Amino acid sequence: MADRWVVNASPLIALARVGCAEWLSQLADEVVVPAAVKAEIDAGPADPARQVLSAGLFTIIDAPPPSTAILGWDLGAGETAVLAVVQADPSWTAVLDDRTARRCAASLGARVLGTLSIVVRARQAGLTDSAASVLRAIRANGFRLDDAVIAPFLRTAVGEEWTG
């Protein structure tokens, strides 16, 4: 089965800020960004993610209307659109970091990846020599990363130690 990813703002912004947004298209067979996610990025402060989207690296799509099962979670417009896509077509994987959105995805039986998983996959694919250094750069760019989650994940997935 092909890897088809629908990406939310947070992973796209985190990866773009450290110059790694292209990893999404290098690791997946198809990557799309809902128009609602693009609108969130465009409405925010100037950010490398906006430049990535303007460059046409990813296809911008209209999401189907969200179900009441998704709307009941009271998520942001981007998370709602990502989840509406994966609910309508389970061949897509949601790429998002928000804890509540990930819980909603689990309740829908949807596959989910987050920024941490993307960085680890990039390390496994040889796109970087160190997942830990990329994660430190992401943290230095203002993203919260939970040491208690990262340390065991890196150790198990790629044999790297996390020193934060």
Using DSSP bridges, classify how beta strands 30-34 and 111-113 pair: parallel, antiparallel or unpaired: unpaired
Look at residue 1 in the predicted model and tell me its pLDDT.
Answer: 56
Q: 153 with 116: CB under 8 angstroms? A: yes
Look at residue 62 in the predicted model and tell me its pLDDT.
Answer: 98
Per-residue pLDDT 10s for the chain (164 aa) are 579 999 999 999 999 999 999 999 999 999 999 999 999 999 988 999 999 999 999 999 999 999 999 999 999 999 999 999 999 999 999 999 999 999 999 999 999 999 999 999 999 999 999 999 999 999 999 888 888 888 888 888 888 888 87
Domain borders along the chain are 4-115, 117-158
Highest CATH level, class, for 4-115: alpha beta
Full-model pTM: 0.94
Q: Which residues pair with 5 in a beta bridge?
A: 31, 93
Using DSSP bridges, classify how beta strands 92-95 and 59-61 pair: parallel, antiparallel or unpaired: unpaired
Look at residue 149 in the predicted model and tell me its pLDDT.
Answer: 86
Q: Which two tokens stand for residue 68?
A: 């009441």
DSSP label at residue 30:
E
Q: Comparing C-alpha atoms, which of 126, 128, 120 is closest to residue 155?
A: 120
Torsion angle of alpha carbons 7, 8, 10, 12, nearest 10°? 30
